Amino acid sequence: MKYLITIVGPTAIGKTALSIALAQHFNCEIISCDSRQFFKEMTIGTAVPNQEELKSAKHHFIQNKSIFENYTVGDYEKEALLKLEELFQKNDFAILIGGSGLYVDAVLKGFDEFPEINPEIRSEVNSNYEKLGINYLQEQLQNLDPDYFQKITLENPQTLQNPQRMMRFVEVCIGTQKPYSSFLNQKKNNRNFTPVLIGLEADRKVIYDRINQRVDIMMNEGLLDEAKALYPNKALNALQTVGYREIFSYFDGDFTLPFAIEEIKKNTRRFSKRQLTWFKRNENTKWFDYATDKKYITNYIENLIK
C-alpha cells in the first residue's frame, strides 16, 4: 500500500514545519502544491521554504517554473502524478503540502478534461473583459451556463470576482457551444495511493496574528525590492496574487506604502478564510490545532495505517 500524507490548512499555520517533520520520520519526499511557490521569480512574497528547510527534506515543485510560462492546474496534475509514481517506486510514503485547494484536489481526485479552445476565442473574451470588466463575464456565464452560475453564487461567490476563472468558464462555453458544467465530473480518476489527510487550524485571532507577523517579516526581508523587479511584468497571470498586487498599486501611485501593507494583511486574512472553507468540505480530513506536538500527529498517522 502507498500512502500520500496530505497536509492542508490556511496560510502561515505551520504546514512547512509539519511536512518536514513527517518527511524525516517516514524517510520520504515532499511535493508542494502551493501554486504561488512554483515560480522561481517569486520568493519572498510566496513564503518559499528557506534553504535550511529545503535541505531538511527533498522538495519538488518549488520554484520550478517561470512566471513567463503558461502553467495550468491540469499541467500540474500530470507532472505531480508522474513524480509520485517515481517516488512510490522507492518508498511507501510521500507528502503533499499546500494551501491551493484546487491543486490538492487535482492530485487526490483528478481534474476534468476540457476540449482545446480556439486561441482567437480566448483572445476575444480577454479583450471584452478588458473593455467591459467583470460584469461582462458574469453576464455571459449567467446566459451560457445558468445552472453553474447559480451553483457558484451559492457555494463559492468569490469565484465570480476572479477574472481568470471566469474567462475560462466563458471561453469553454463559447468555444464548445456547451455549458461549462457539462464537462465536470465526467470520469472517475483512479489513484494508486491512499490519501491520509491532515489539516492544521487555529483560532481565527491566532491565524490573523500569524499572517500579520508574516507580512511584516516579508517586508523586512525585501518584498518591496522583489516586487519592484517584477513590476514591469505585473500583467502576467502568475503575478495576479496577494502581496504583489497591492505593492504594484503602490508603485502605480494608487496606494501609500503603509496602506499597501495593510491591504496585503487584510487580503491574506480573507484568503486564509477561503482556504479553510475549501478544505473543511472534505470530511476525511483529520484536523489538529497548529500547536499540537508533531509526535502526536505522527503517532496518529502510524496508527491509522496499521
Residues that constitute the known binding site for substrate:
11-16
Binding annotation:
9-16
The distance in angstroms from the start CA to the end CA of the chain is 11
| Phi, psi values for residue 17, rounded to 5° | -60, -40
302-306, Cβ contacts within 8 angstroms, sequence gap of 24 or more? 304/196, 305/1, 305/3, 305/194, 305/196
Which amino acid is residue 152, in one-letter code? I
Whole-number Å distance between alpha carbons of 14 and 8 = 10
Bridge pairing between strands 3-8 and 93-97? parallel
Binding annotation for ATP:
9-16
What the block records as the C-alpha cell of 169 is 468558464
